[in-house]
Chains A and B, each alone.
Chain A
Amino acid sequence: MDILVCVKRVPDTAENEIQLAGSGADIDREDLVYSVNEPDNYAVEEALQIASRTAGKVTVVTVGGDEDEEVLRREMAMGASAAALLSDGAFQGSDGRGTAAILKAFVQSQHFDLILTGVQADDGCAQVGGMLAAMLDYPFASLVTSIEVQEGRKLKIGREIEGGSKEINAIDLPCVLSIQTGINEPRYVGMRGIRQVASVPIPVYAAEDLGIAAATAGEGAAKVRRVDYFVPPAGKGAEILEGSREEIVDKLMGLLKAKGGLN
């Protein structure tokens, strides 16, 4: 089974403190560490496991610029056999829909049985996978936590829903799935592995190569635009207890008793 995984290079939020840069036009990116979006990494691991069970191969793709190549290389070090960078000045300022349109053009230029994305990235939109599926007219499922390949070009998948329950579906191939973290345990990629793919050439596709019309991607085509970043005013918020630890424990004890927190 040939699988395509769409990945994105994002700031590592677990380790970074995100702060505004000056007026709010952007966040302060100076000291940020970037890496592959965590759910995308789980998706690549899942793809590699499925590919090894079905004698297929895994391709990773991203929409961006030169600086985004490093995540493609990392996923190749993990085991993806091919990568593609979709890059063109005309793609700048694309919204989610634009990104999906660009990916759609790439998908249609090749053949894939299955397309995976991570459930969401740094902007928390969780949209590209679903949009891509609709544009390709493929079935779609989000928040996938298990995949079982079945006979007859189908998959049996599990989706995460409320209350910790799992919704089991059958879905036809080709399809698009967005993958939730925790679906597997991604393998470790060490420095050595990355060094070994450091000079593998990665093909770059521009708008022309993909046959993308100007109206479908880029700033002009975007229906959603971010105006600025800001930190909302704190509002009332919590009453912060002051004093030494003993004093705070005292005060808390009083409050807990009053609110029925101690049995």
Chain B
Amino acid sequence: MPRIFAYIVHRSGVADDTAAELPVAGRKIDGAASATAIVTGWGADLDQVCERLRGVYSEIWKIAKEPLEYPNAELVRQALASVVPRGSILLVPHGHFGVDLSPGLSIKLDAAYLPDVVDIEGVEGAALRAVRQEFGGQVSAHVLCDLSAGAVLNIRPGAFRPSGGALTAGQVVDKSAEVGTLTARRRYLETIAPEAGDVDITKEPVLVSIGRGIGEQENVEIAQDLAEAMGAAVSCSRPVVDARWLDKSRQVGSSGQTVRPKVYLACGISGSFQHLAGIKGNPFLVAVNKNPKAPIFRVADVGIIDDLLEFMPALAARVREESCVPGKGRRS
């Protein structure tokens, strides 16, 4: 079995949640193996991450180079290509960085590439049998990936839940010297944070979230009305922002904000993984959708199959009724 590596995404000295998920995927490939972490970066932040990873990985390869202080995929690719042994399996979290890094990396390593893996079934001969999704998540597919020359596997965040297993005492191995001068024809300049909206949805405990099912701009006020009645805030999925019906600051998802509410009402949201990736902390998730086959019903706690344009006003009216009864507590 080829050696398994896991690329660690980190920021400000803290590793991403995926750092704990990749070894789980690795064990599904090879139950006996234990993945080796690879971390690139520079300075105290890098050191801190490596230190913390010692509780998760038995071996951690550290690559400290100043040009890697900001994770520029072009440079990281060069570094990894110098260090990762040919024929290995490299696990990378699928996301903004993974999509930037891995396709080109697989070519440089002359390895196979499998993006956005949601499940791993095992190895059959020289091939890995895994599960991917296509058509926006509407169908799943079994795929076979040739491992004979190694592979880069992009793993979907959240697909492999960490078991919270035994703490290991990992070893940090400094591999920085194996990486030569890093030059790239793409240079990082700066990051522009989005303008702060009027509401910070990441701090809200209750969210009324709308998706494509809201239909048209004028219906957004139905959601705003319900949110007001409930003392909640309105958030949304990507299509609503693309259509410019709500500000980007209201978008929940992998390319929007990450929220940790107590209660999340997903109205007219189909449940694409990019959207769900933005919901953390396992809130009480209520889904309202006309389509009984919407993927959101697989992950919601409670489902309501109804037209959200009818249901939301009915709920708002009820909430208002209740709050008018004395002794029931005031709405914020």
Residues of A within 8 A of B (CB): 11, 13, 17-18, 20, 27, 96-97, 100, 119-120, 122-131, 133-135, 138-143, 156, 158-172, 175, 178, 181-182, 223-232, 234-235, 237-241, 245-246, 248-250, 252-253, 255-256, 259-263
Contact = CB atoms under 8 A, between A and B. Distances in A.
A18 B187 contact: no
B284 A252 contact: no
Interface string B295-323: 01111111111100011001100110011
Nearest to A126: B99
B245 to A, nearest CB: 13
Contact of B104 (A125, A140, A230, A261): A140
A238 B116 contact: no
A164 B284 contact: no
Given A13-B135, A131-B106, A162-B95, A226 B304 contact: no
A122 B140 CA distance: 12
Tell me which of B129, B189, B299, B329 has the highest count of chain A C-beta atoms within 10 A of its own C-beta.
B189
Given A134-B106, A227-B129, 10 more contacts: A18-B138, A96-B113, A142-B99, A161-B97, A163-B193, A172-B186, A223-B146, A238-B300, A238-B302, A255-B284
20 contacts: A18-B135, A96-B113, A127-B103, A128-B103, A143-B100, A162-B96, A162-B258, A164-B249, A223-B146, A230-B141, A230-B142, A231-B139, A231-B140, A234-B298, A238-B297, A240-B303, A241-B303, A248-B306, A249-B315, A263-B329
Nearest to B101: A130
Contacts of A133: 104
Interface string B264-293: 010000000000000000001111000010
Interface in B59-109: 72-74, 95-97, 99-100, 102-108
Contact of B192 (A17, A165, A238): A165
B186 A127 contact: no
**Which secondary structure dominates chain A's binding surface?**
mixed
Given A124-B132, A259-B263, A262-B319, A134 B107 contact: yes
Nearest to A239: B302
A167 B191 contact: yes
A182 B243 CA distance: 9
A253 B318 contact: yes
B107 A229 contact: no
B15 interface: no
Interface in B216-271: 230-232, 242, 248-249, 251, 254-258, 262-263, 265
Contact of B187 (A170, A181, A228): A170
